[in-house]
Amino acid sequence: MLDIKFIKENKSIIEDAIAKKGLVVDVEALLSADKKRLLLLGEVEKKRAKQNEVSAEIAKSTDPAEKQERIQEMQELKKDLQKKESALKETMKKWRTLILQIPNIPDASVPIGKSEEDNVEEATGGEKPSFSFPPKNHRELMKNLDMVDFEAGSKVHGFRGYFLKNDGAELSWALWNYARDFFGQRGFTPVIAPAIVRQEYFYATGHLPTDADDLYKTQDDDYLSGTAEVPLMAYHADEILKKEDLPKRYLAFSPCYRREAGSYGKDTKGLVRVHEFFKFEQLILCEASHETSVLLHEEINKNMEEFVASLSLPWRRLAISTGDLKTAQVKSYDTEVWIPSENAYREMGSASYYHDFQSRRFNIKYDDKGTKRYVHSLNATALATPRILVALIENNQQKDGGIALPPLLQKYMGKESIPSRS
């Protein structure tokens, strides 16, 4: 959420951000609601002050007639105050709805575009494999190696269900342990985060209302999180941090849940899009400095790229265009990994920064020599499973149907390869 004072003083910048992100937001309606909000707030405060004044007069009065007159005046004030408070409540409700629609302002370095088609490739790494045989997709390879059971997954869970088993489960655990060691050397505090989170915190991160159709909701009106970003941001809600403790770096592991409501007909088979998965997430809270945010954004994105590269996977970095940028984001990168069976790169993670857009909603501040400032927030994927198995298995498949394991994973698996069963 942007500061209303900034919005009022920079209307043209806000409207430009709205246009760049391809949104439809009525800024004038917000400004009008804000004028009404301030007017009603002033009237309510005056009524309350008058009420306190009359209350004091009643307490001091020794004249029964005068006291009765003041009591009647108090009753009228109370009725009038209730009407003003009710009007203020309705105006605040409209004001909050409108201000939550105002997007963050894209950085000047973000490519201008209308959709994901306008995302820009900025870097690539690794070599795409060259096979002397027709490569198989991960579904066929894993089923032949008894690493996955999609039929049982569909029976138990339904659409997009899966069971990882044998070396499929072992490979996931190996990746988790390797990720712990890899990121553990980079100054992160390890956390296991809850996946059931209060509704208000999804609004605070910006996942609501835009992602409402993609979230699972409980009977208690809580939601299942699709990323540890949400509970990690909530961890410090309503806190004032010490500047010397910044930046705070967290590496969180959690189960994640997404309905994939907007992807019907896409990736209906296999492990690319599933409803339940497990993810390591990087999250940083830092001082309110654009320069610091930019440096840390590059750092956490580089962490992800280096992790993927350490697994000998071909990858590329995309700078997300304004039209594909989410409402809360200032800038974002996607890291994509090569999928041989599709002859294409597929997203494996993203890295984004938000300035104080999220921290204002969470009310997370730090004390800067007596001045309370909102922290800046950043997050990035560290590892998402089982999706990375798709790239790992397809890029390392052997002619006989076995899978060669990247050297850095071999000690975690206790072997150099997953042998063919044929």
Exposed e or buried b per residue across 147-171, where buried means at least 16 C-beta atoms within 10 angstroms of its C-beta: bbbbeebeeeeeebbbbbeebbebb
* Amino acid identity for residue 400 in this structure: D
Set 273, 316, 346, 373: catalytic member:
273
Set 37, 70, 160, 258: catalytic member:
258
Set 289, 310, 347, 417: catalytic member:
347
Q: How many CB atoms lie within 10 A of CB 297?
A: 25
Active-site annotation holds for 421: no
Set 172, 225, 312, 350: catalytic member:
350
Active-site annotation holds for 273: yes
- Compute the distance between CA of residue 66 and CA of residue 85 in angstroms, rounded to an integer: 28
Phi, psi of 192 (to 5 degrees): -105, 115
- For β-strands 216-217 and 223-224, DSSP reports them as antiparallel
Q: Which of 17, 45, 14 is nearest to 30 (CA)?
A: 14
Residues 6 or more apart in contact with residue 82 via CB below 8 angstroms? none
Active-site annotation holds for 373: no
* Amino acid identity for residue 347 in this structure: E
CA distances in angstroms from 125 to 128, 186, 310, 351, listed in the order given? 9, 21, 11, 17
Active-site annotation holds for 180: no
- Compute the distance between CA of residue 106 and CA of residue 102 in angstroms, rounded to an integer: 12
Active-site annotation holds for 254: no
> Which residues are annotated as catalytic?
258, 273, 347, 350, 387
